[in-house]
Every structure is written in structure tokens, then in C-alpha cells.
A and B are shown apart, each in its own frame.
Chain A
Amino acid sequence: MISSAQYLAQDSEPWINTDTFINLFWANTIGGLEYGSIYALVALGYTLVYGVLKLLNFAHSEVFIYGAYATWFTFFLLGFRPGPTPELPVGELIAYLVLAVIVAMLVSGTTALVLERVAYRPLRNRGAPRLAFLITAIGASLILQQILFLWRGSNPEQAIRLLRPETLFNVGSASVQNLTVIIVVASVLMWIVADTFVNRTRFGRGIRAVAQDPDTAMLMGVNKERIIMLTFVVGGLLAGAAAVFYMMKIPQGAQYNGGFLLGLKAFAAAVLGGIGNLRGALLGGLLLGIIENHGQALFGGEWRDVVAFVVLVLVLMFRPTGILGESLGKARV
């Protein structure tokens, strides 16, 4: 032990590694964007529910992981098995992936809906204090986790994957892979759909109205209960889509407690961007992904989470409502 301590002392590296940061700037930015867009989609679910109910729905990470299991089962039932990645014709591959997205969105959306009806609605009907909702959210999160655990055990599902990442083009010294482009572009498109839905449609107007002032919204003829259900479902659908991208990136991801850490990060992303703010969720997610990677380049892998959360604390010190502020409940022209 003494000798190994000596060895480590001799090998003391500079505590901040600017060379790595500069050399790998593009590679880490691209990697960060990829994982960050998954954060962003999950963050949307936290943000929507918070905006409408002022509820931190900690069970959203389980809504996400149910989507990951749905993805895995879709692949499995389509006849794919763990092992080498198959070489699929493009059309077939797209059809399978779209199918997986649909199934995962349905499963996650349903999970979110059931969660709302079983866990939160009874509390709302009894006018429970906000703290009761928070504890219920944590409890629901554990219950959903344990159901998966009892059913599938603690090991991750064996990796099944349909698309092998290939380099498409280079940015600087960094290569960009097809999987990265698919995940980033599809996530941003999903976000545009969600943003349009909330800001441009009749349902979206209902969501914004309830977020702004639930009582007045009800007087104006908005069905509050339906809007709340809708909000949970939209969050669930987005989490389902995120789960498919996650499983494409990390095929080992379907594990009963695998949503916890990612959910925590996505929640942090939502706070970073401004909770209750759809644009904030996107910005926060992408930023968090990038910061995490650059933080590791600068300070080493063991600082991954520390760097992300220190940045979060710093941002909140100067902008307590996050970078873009809370906005779902604010009237906009």
C-alpha cells in the first residue's frame, strides 16, 4: 500500500488538463450533444409537470426506464437476439426503429397516465399539501422500480442493437457518427413538436392556462383534470422516445434502477435551463451533456458529476430561476 501511494505521488498530473480540453474539444462537444439531447427529452417531462402542478415528479425516471424495457422487448419480439449487430436493409431498420419508438412512447405514456391517476389524483382530490405529493413521487418511483426488479431481476437486459455506429464525417479532429446525428436531430425534432403542441394548439393553450392560474382556467371552462392527464401523457411520450434513443446508444440500458441517475441529471438539466420552461429543458439538457464531457476532460472522469452539479449551483446563484427562467406559467404574447 505504501509503495502504491508512492507510485501515485510520483505520477501526480496537473490538476487541470487544458491540453486534453482543447484537443478533444469537438469530440467531447459532439458526445455531449448526443447524450444531452436524451437529457433534454427527459427533462421536458419534469418541466411540463412542474409547470402545471408545481410537482417534482421523481417517478418520471421510471416512466423513462419503462420505455427502455419496451424498446428492448420490441427488439426481442421482432426476433433480434443479443450478440453481433445484424446488417439490416435501411428500410427494414427504419421500420423497426419507428415501431420501437411507437411502442416505447405508448408504454411510457401509459405508465405516466397510470401514475397520475393512481398516485397523484387521489391526493389532489383530498387537497393534500405539496409535501405529500413529493413523498408520493419518491414512493411511486421506488414501487415502479421494484416491480421491474421482481419481474426481471437486477441484471441489465442483454444488449440488443439494430444499428452499428459508423463515422459519417469529421468536424475538426472529431468524427461524427450516424447514431449521433440520428439521436440529436430526432430529439430536436421531437422537442419542436412538443413546443409547437404547447404553444400553438388548443390543448397547449389549456396546459398554459392551467399552469398560469388553475382556478381562473377552470372558470374559463378548461377541464383541469383532463389537462393534467394530458400533461403527464405528453411527458411520458417524450420519455418513451428518449428511451429508444438511449437504448440505441446504450443497449445495456434496460436495468430496473437504470433510470435513477439519468432522471436526476435530466431533472438538473430542467432546473439549469429554467424549470417549467420547454426551451429551458432543451438548452439545459444539451448544456449539461456538454459540460459533463468537458468537465471530465479538464478534471478527470471522477469529477463527472461534481462538475455538472457545481455548474448548476453556480448558475442558480446568479439566476435562481435557471438560465431562461420559468415561463410555462407566464403569459406570452
Chain B
Amino acid sequence: MARARITAALALAATAASLVLGACAPREDAGNNAANQPQSDAPAEPENAHKPEGDGNAKCSNVAIAYAGTINGENAALGQNILNGVKLAVKKHNDANPDCQVELKEYDTEGVPERAPGIVTQMVNDEQIVGVVGLPFSGESKAAGNIFDKGGLPQISPSATNPTLSQNGWKTFFRGLGNDNAQGPAAAKFLTDNLGAEKVCVVQDDSEYGIGLASEVKKALGDKVVCDEKVKTKQKEFSAVVQNIKAAQPDAVYYSGYYQEAAPFAQQLYDAGVETQLVGPDGVKDDEYVKGAGDAAAETFFTCPCVPGEGFTKFAGEYRKMFDKDPGTYSVEGYDAATVLLTGIDAGNTDRKKMLEWIKNYDAQGLSNKLGWDENGELAETPTVWTYKVENGKIVRNVEIK
């Protein structure tokens, strides 16, 4: 065996030597035409925002809320951001209210649509749970929404953005952020107005979210879409798609999907020498993408119907203290959703029916958005969409799209 190994090593060494010689010149940096745009000011923490701790005199017993979504599964970082936001809200509530200790139950759907119905059924059967923060992803939300509805268990999704989710007649579905009917056109506006793109390639994965968002973006871009590529979740090799994009010579590429595929895609696009501007949505906007995409990450922009939390110094400080890291995408939204449920419990809504009424009639400023819902469970006041960029290996706010 030693022989085989040594021969192999020598073989590799010989080929490598013959090829790498002279190939180490640094690559010219692709022009980053939007990098010089002035950053929008970060919104400050709204002073009148609702607070999970309430007045500290709440009384309740044997009541729980739940988080359901990916914790250790696909694209886990997106779910953990939300869960941490929820944990922070529950901790603040329970610390302030000794007579009302709300239990937080965690359910891991692994982000897989096939797993969600079973887990939601478990939650529906657990009478203690009066409200749920989740589900984070659109695919699983679609798969399990009718089970929430039948069980009368209210759910506030802090991140599922597929527009059709609110059109199923589910009485228990509430969305704590803008949907892709807002993000799609905003992304198109950013691509054409801010980046000046005349030709755009839209790449979509095969998730409910990726397909829905891509269709909104394409609708808004109209004939500026020069190529329309499809990839699969869990795909890691993209040479055929990259070649198609290279041939289309677009000014910008919009990747409609999640970070797990976006990172290798971005790197392979960059390595193939395609000079274009990559933009990803909220599903890509995570530190895991920046760590995964290597050289390509620095030149990526993101769109997200989420509010930059770095101006929320109090929230960010408490979050850092509890989890030893910065709040991520949708941490604020998760915190807000949990706060709606916790204040509901404090107001005496300790069964599902009352909780549902509480959410329907809710009207208060959250940290992220003004929270109050229309009859379909969409936010009554359309929230803004922000763009983000990568600076020194961190995702920072770019501009607000109005």
C-alpha cells in the first residue's frame, strides 16, 4: 500500500507543479460599482416598542409557547437566530414576572417540509402550548399550515416570506414581516436602479421559497431577465449553470434560495471569471454564507425584509450577553413574535382561542415592524426592505429600498 500512496502523491505533485507555475498572480478585483453608495442610517431602537417583561405583575401557571423550525437541520443558522431571539424574550419575561413562568418548548423540524406536519401535530396535541413562533421556512409552513388551523393553534412566522402562505384561508397564520410581494419588487428596484443592471440572471432553487421569490423578482424585472436558471437544494456543483450565466453576460445575478447552496454557487461563479454582481435574498443573508463563499463573499449584496438590528444597542447588548454573539437575520423578528405571545399571556389569554383573538387585535410597535395584522395574517403596515453588504467579513446594512 505504501507504494500506491507514494506513487499517487508523486503523481499529484508532478501535475500540480507543472500547472501552478505562473498561475499565482493575484486576480484583478472586479469592479464593485455599488460599494461607494452611501449607507442609509441605521434605524434606532423604537422607544415605544412593546416589551416582553410587561409590568412584572402577571400571574399565570402551566402555560407554554413553542418555537418550531430548523435547529440542527438544513440551513440551521437561520433557525437558531430566531430561536435565540425567542429565548431572550422568554428569559426577560420570566425574570420580570416571578408569578408567571412561561415555558418555552423547542421543536426541530430540520427545515424539511416532510417533517413539519408530524411535529406540528405534536404541538397541537400539547394543550399547554398556546402559541408558536415559526415556522421559519416557506416550504415547511405550506406543508403544516392546515394542521395549525385545525388545531386552532396560532403561529407567528418570523421569516417565511412566500406570499401564497396567507392565501390558504388559515385562520391561525400570522406573518411577522413583509412577504416576497414586497421583497421581489424591491430586489428588482435595487438591481436596476442602485446597481444599474440592464441584464439580470435569476437563479432559483427548488424550494417553495426560492421558486416564489424568483417569480416575483422576474415579474418585476420584466424583459431585463436575460437568463432564468434552476438549481436543486443540496446541489454543490454548479458548472453547467455557471456556464449558462457566463454565456448570457449579465450585469447582475440574483440567487433566490438559501445560503447552503448559495455559498458554493457564488464561489464557482467567481472562479469561472464571470464579471457580474451577485445579489442574494434573506435566505442567503447569514454569516454562514460569508464564511462559506470565500473570496466571492466580499462582492455580494443581500435584500431582506428585515430591519438592521445593529442600531438597537439595548437589544443587541442583551443578546450578546446571553449568547456571546451578535444578533443574526430575524433574531429581532423572533423576539417580536415571542413578545406578542408573552404579552398575550400576561393579559390573561392562556388558551388558544383567546390568544388568537389577542393576536388578531394586536396593535403595537415592535422592534422590527409595526405589528398589527389584516384578515389574512399579513402585516397591515407594509414593512420596508433593506439591502445589506459584506464589509470586513461581516454583513452590514447598505441602503433601505423605498
Residue in B234, B247, B294 whose beta carbon sits within 8 Å of that of A83 in the complex = B294
Within A260-312, which residues are at the interface with B (CB < 8 Å)? 261, 292-293, 296-297, 300-302, 304-305
Contact call B230/A301, Cβ cutoff below 8 A: yes
Establish whether residues B206 and A302, one from each chain, have CB atoms under 8 Å apart when the complex forms: yes
* Cβ distance B157 to chain A, nearest Cβ, rounded Å: 18
Quick one: given A24-B243, A293-B240, are A159 and B234 in contact (CB under 8 Å)? no
**Contact of B74 with A by CB under 8 A:** yes
Instruction: Check B219–A4 contact: CB distance below 8 A.
Output: yes
Across-interface contacts of B4 in A (CB, < 8 A): 193-194, 197, 234, 237
B163 touches A90 (CB 8 A): no
Known pairs A85-B294, A159-B293; A297 contacts B232 (CB<8 A):
no
B24 A90 Cβ-Cβ under 8 A? yes
Asked if B354 is at the interface (CB within 8 A of a chain A CB), the reply is no
Q: Is the CB of B9 within 8 A of A102?
A: yes
Give every chain A residue within 8 A of B295 (Cβ-Cβ): 84-85, 164
Q: Is A101 an interface residue (CB 8 A)?
A: yes
Considering the complex, give the chain A residue whose CB is closest to the CB of B242.
Answer: A31
**B209-238 contact mask (Cβ, 8 Å, vs A): 1 or 0:** 000000110110000000011111011110
State A168–B23 Cα separation when bound (angstroms).
8
> Which range holds the interface residue count of chain B?
35 or more
Question: A182–B237 contact, CB under 8 A?
Answer: no
Which residues of chain A are within 8 angstroms of B218 by Cβ–Cβ distance?
7, 11
Measured CA separation A165–B296 after assembly (Å): 13
Closest to A17 in B: B244
Contact A90 B20, CB 8 Å, known A193-B7, A197-B4, A300-B230: yes
The 8 A CB mask of B346-361 against A (1 = contact, 0 = none) is 0000000000000000
Contact call A250/B237, Cβ cutoff below 8 A: yes
Closest chain-A Cβ to B38's Cβ sits at a distance in Å of 26
Contact present for A159 and B229 (CB under 8 Å): no
* Of B113-121, B263-271, B322-330, the one with at least 4 CB within 8 A of chain A: B263-271
Q: Which of A166, A237, A293, A297 has the most chain B CB atoms inside 10 A of its CB? A: A166
- Once the chains bind, are A250 and B236 in contact (CB under 8 Å)? yes
CA distance A194 to B11 in the complex (A): 13
* In the complex, chain B residues whose CB is within 8 Å of the CB of A3: 219
Within the complex, which residue of A154, A158, A185, A250 is in contact with B291, where a contact is CB–CB below 8 Å? Answer: A158
Q: Do A237 and B1 touch across chains, with their CB atoms under 8 A apart? A: yes
User: Which of A132-140, A251-259, A316-324 has 4 or more CB atoms under 8 Å from chain B?
Assistant: A251-259
User: Does chain A have a CB within 8 A of B54?
Assistant: no
Residues of A within 8 A of B163 (CB): 1
Is A167 in the interface zone, CB < 8 Å from B? yes
Bound together, the chains give a CA A305 to CA B206 distance in angstroms of 13
Chain B residue with Cβ nearest A1: B164
CA distance A52 to B193 in the complex (A): 63
A302 contact set on B, CB distance < 8 A: 206, 230-232
B292 touches A252 (CB 8 A): yes
- Cβ contacts under 8 Å, B267 to chain A: 159, 251-252
Tell me the complex Cα distance, A174–B246, Å.
11
Question: For residues 248 through 292 of chain B, which have their beta carbon under 8 Å from a beta carbon of chain A?
Answer: 260, 263-264, 267-268, 271-273, 288, 291-292
* Alpha-carbon separation in the docked complex, A84 to B299 (Å): 12
Given contacts A85-B294, A97-B12, A102-B5, are A11 and B247 in contact (CB under 8 A)?
Answer: no
Residue numbers in B under 8 Å from A24 (CB-CB): 240, 243-244, 247
Asked whether any CB of chain A lies closer than 8 Å to the CB of B48, the reply is no
A87 touches B26 (CB 8 A): yes
- How many chain-A residues does the 8 Å CB contact rule pick out? 79
| Interface contact B24-A20, CB-CB below 8 Å | no
Q: Chain B's nearest CB lies how many Å from the CB of A15?
A: 13
Which one of A84, A87, A159 has the greatest number of beta carbons of chain B within 10 Å?
A159
Residues of B within 8 A of A304 (CB): 232, 235, 240
CA distance A161 to B20 in the complex (A): 14
Residues on B with C-beta less than 8 A from A237 are 1, 4-5
Q: Are B7 and A159 in contact (CB under 8 A)?
A: no
Q: Does B76 contact A (CB under 8 A)?
A: yes
**A246: min CB distance to chain B, Å:** 9
* Known pairs A155-B288, A159-B267, A252-B236; A181 contacts B15 (CB<8 A): yes
Complex partner residue of A301 from B9, B26, B232, B263, CB under 8 angstroms:
B232
Q: How far is the CB of A144 from chain B (nearest CB, A)?
A: 17
| Pair A27/B243 contact, Cβ less than 8 Å | yes
Asked if B46 is at the interface of the complex by the 8 Å CB criterion, the answer is no
Q: Which residues of B contact A97 (CB under 8 A)?
A: 12-13, 16
Tell whether A94 is near chain B: CB-to-CB under 8 Å: yes
Q: Is A93 an interface residue (CB 8 A)?
A: yes
Closest residue to B11 on the A side, CB-wise? A189
Contacting pair B11 A249 (CB below 8 A) = no
Answer whether residue B27 sits at the interface, using C-beta atoms and an 8 A cutoff.
Answer: yes
A161 and B270 CA atoms in complex are apart in Å by 14
Q: A20-B247, A252-B292 are in contact. Are A182 and B19 (CB under 8 A)?
A: yes
* Given A155-B76, A167-B273, A23 and B247 contact (CB-CB distance below 8 Å): yes
B197 at the interface (CB under 8 A from A): no
Chain A residues, Cβ within 8 Å of B8: 101, 105, 186, 189-190, 193, 241
Given contacts A94-B20, A101-B9, A105-B5, contact A28 B219 (CB under 8 A): no
A7 to B292, CA, bound (A): 34
User: Considering residues B19, B237, B271, which has the most beta carbons from chain A within 10 angstroms of its beta carbon?
Assistant: B237
Q: A305 and B76: CB pair below 8 A? A: no
Complex CA gap A286/B219 in Å reads 39
| Contact (A90, B230) CB under 8 Å given A4-B219, A24-B243, A85-B294 | no
- Closest chain-B Cβ to A264's Cβ sits at a distance in Å of 11
- The answer to whether B241 and A296 touch across the interface, beta carbons within 8 angstroms, is yes
List of B residues within 8 angstroms of A13 by Cβ: 228
Once the chains bind, are B291 and A166 in contact (CB under 8 Å)? no
B-side contacts of A258, CB under 8 Å:
236
Q: Is B40 an interface residue (CB 8 A)?
A: no
Q: How far, in angstroms, from A246 to B243 measured CA to CA in the complex?
A: 19
Tell me if A331 is interfacial: C-beta within 8 Å of chain B: no
Q: Which of A35, A87, A94, A174 has the most CB of B within 10 A?
A: A94
Q: List 5 A-B contacts (CB under 8 A).
A: A82-B292, A156-B288, A158-B288, A250-B237, A293-B240
Question: Assuming A28-B239, A249-B237, what are 12 further A-B pairs, CB within 8 angstroms?
Answer: A3-B219, A23-B247, A24-B244, A35-B237, A97-B12, A101-B9, A156-B288, A161-B294, A252-B263, A253-B236, A301-B232, A305-B232
